[in-house]
Structure 1
């Protein structure tokens, strides 16, 4: 039996061809990849017999499956692997250089393999995420200057560097990221915004920062939770709730279960203070 071939292998993508496997009677193909949650995800649908699958981790073997049309249940399963990024210019070396603040080493690695500026390490963190952890603004600036993408989300969670910085309270880093083009309107895989992340941090300054960014204070995530609902459910500091309410948070918004802010407080056995209602 013939199987699809990997024509091109790179650290973060593979180009796959299945030409001459099914003959000329088929013009509707569906290609899926098995993700980290063991779920099949469609990466291509159409008439072509070749496609590039990107957003992959380096030096990793992925499981794929292919079929010819929506009515067919006969999947052809096969594997394809991304390329190793090399012994010197590896993610490990970049991670170490960022952690130690070795600017000359970062420059050399980036020059040899620019792809490493946006590659995730084994903790699923790109160099910018790692620099945020150390609070090193100089390294963050250097990475961006060398070509790091400030809006590249984590592969699995779709969390951005700006979300990460605000959650950790690295507000100078967050300001730098926004100055360099980081989007304040991003949402992760669960629909959370930078304001949701600020609420999750349970730190008033982080919430103030996110509100000052002028994001939609009533934006709901995939569960229907607005930042205020999230604050009530997570039982954050009272001053955070007061700030959200005074900034225009709507107490009448309902989540996917039909519960509003007051209902969640009742479920938790707490009192809804009328003085805190939106005027």
Structure 2
């Protein structure tokens, strides 16, 4: 008789194989019992979640062909396979496959994040482009009131900021702390990102919930001076 630990390991063998990239094992398990593709483990994840999060493309290709496959299945935290793929580097092929299977680019997890929030945080420009081209909205706020633009600004990614603004992201939207993307860019010391936002119409005199304007969040005088000087060259006056 199997111990409870051994029984659990046996029950979630396909999840282990997906994590470890054992394509032959996954194929064998699915041939024996196709329903394993829809089995949830103790983390409330399906095998597809693990295969995507570890970038095991051959296994993902196997799983998406299984009966009753739902590309938008969410784990216990509301993450879809697409969200996981969008959070990874060099995941273009994974993202392409999931989108080709009809993945919803605007579905939210439990914190209100979409795939575009995650790719903005990781400065994955190519993935962000794919999402936007497939109608991902740049205007969705998460539960902290943040747009993907807030995250791109905090990461200091000028190309992503440009992309999101072109996708109709509001430049002056505030999060639950009253912080705009400009506040986040300057607070993280990203002078070029701050200037890009100012050029796009970010309001330099907008105050956060503590009554602080963005430039006052500069981590040091050198960064503040750089932003003042660069803005002046662009014909932008800071308060």
Q: 1:220 to 1:194 in 2, by over 3 A?
A: same
Distance (whole Å) between structure 1 residues aligned to residue 146 and residue 154 of structure 2: 10
Q: Deviations over 1:238-275 (max 9, x none)?
A: 2222222222221110111111124434xx55364444
Q: What is the Cα deviation at residue 147 of structure 1? A: 3.2
Q: What is the Cα deviation at residue 140 of structure 1? A: 1.9
Are 1:222 and 2:176 counterparts?
yes
Aligned to 2:203: 250
Q: 1:246 to 1:189 in 2, by over 3 A?
A: same
Aligned to 2:106: 151
Distance (whole Å) between structure 2 residues aligned to residue 208 and residue 144 of structure 1: 23
Aligned to 2:5: none
Q: What is the Cα deviation at residue 148 of structure 1? A: 2.2
Aligned to 1:260: 213
User: Which runs of no fewer than 5 residues in structure 2 stay unpaired?
Assistant: 1-34, 40-44
Aligned to 1:164: 118
Are 1:241 and 2:194 counterparts?
yes
Q: What secondary structure, in the 3-state scheme, does the structure 2 residue paired with 1:112 have?
A: coil
Aligned 8 A contact 2:72 2:103 in 1: yes
Distance (whole Å) between structure 2 residues aligned to residue 262 and residue 137 of structure 1: 36
Match of 1:213 among 158, 167, 171: 167
Aligned to 1:107: 64
Aligned 8 A contact 1:191 1:222 in 2: yes
Instruction: Decide which structure has greater helix share.
Output: 2
Are 1:120 and 2:69 counterparts?
no
Distance (whole Å) between structure 2 residues aligned to residue 262 and residue 163 of structure 1: 24
Aligned 8 A contact 1:163 1:194 in 2: yes
Q: Deviations over 1:193-224 (max 9, x none)?
A: 12111012123333233233332111111111
Aligned 8 A contact 1:128 1:140 in 2: yes
Q: 1:100 to 1:246 in 2, by over 3 A?
A: same
User: Which runs of no fewer than 5 residues in structure 1 stay unpaired?
Assistant: 1-85
Are 1:270 and 2:221 counterparts?
yes
Aligned 8 A contact 1:233 1:264 in 2: yes
Aligned residues: 187
Distance (whole Å) between structure 2 residues aligned to residue 188 and residue 241 of structure 1: 22
Q: 1:145 to 1:235 in 2, by over 3 A?
A: same
Instruction: Decide which structure has greater strand share.
Output: 1
Structure exhibiting the larger radius of gyration computed from Cα positions: 1
Distance (whole Å) between structure 2 residues aligned to residue 262 and residue 104 of structure 1: 48
Distance (whole Å) between structure 1 residues aligned to residue 200 and residue 182 of structure 2: 11
Structure 2-normalised TM-score?
0.68
Structure 1-normalised TM-score?
0.59
Match of 2:38 among 79, 85, 89: 89
Q: Deviations over 1:55-90 (max 9, x none)?
A: xxxxxxxxxxxxxxxxxxxxxxxxxxxxxxx64423
Q: What is the Cα deviation at residue 191 of structure 1? A: 0.8
Aligned to 2:17: none
